Amino acid sequence: MEHDKTAGPKPPHCADDATAKRGTVEGEGSYSAARAYQKGAHEFAKKSGAVDAAAQDAAKAVEGPERAALERAEQAGKAHAKGEDPALRGTTRG
């Protein structure tokens, strides 16, 4: 999304187009981390059968002896959560 030039100068935390293209801003949005993640995700997805194999491994873990440990980990994570995202249920706060 481009900055509306009629609205005045860009806030100091916004990168200009040249800075964003160079990838030097490392504030809230880390360009280098995003590139590294995206590269890894693409390489993983390109591997023949890697995604299917990972999905099968995950299904086996949930259905097998790891199930109890996975459920405990899920409950521990939910205990720290502030609540479920209403968007998951198609509702909004109002």
Task: Convert the pLDDT of each residue in 54-85 to its tens digit.
Answer: 889 999 999 999 999 999 999 998 888 887 77
* Domain span at 36: 17-46
Domain count, the chain: 2
User: Is the pLDDT higher at 41 or at 16?
Assistant: 41
Q: Are residues 52 and 76 in the same domain?
A: yes
26 and 41 share one domain: yes
Residues 38 and 55 in one domain: no
The answer to whether residue 26 is domain-embedded is yes
Q: Indicate whether 93 belongs to any domain.
A: no
Q: Give kind and range of the element (H or E) at residue 89.
A: none
Same domain, 60 and 41: no
Query: Does residue 87 fall inside a structural domain?
Result: no
pLDDT of residue 25: 65
pLDDT tens-digit readout, 41-50: 888 888 878 8
Q: Has residue 90 got a pLDDT over 80?
A: no
Report yes or no: 75 and 67 within 8 Å, Cβ to Cβ.
Answer: no
Q: Is the separation of the CB atoms in 19 and 25 below 8 Å?
A: yes
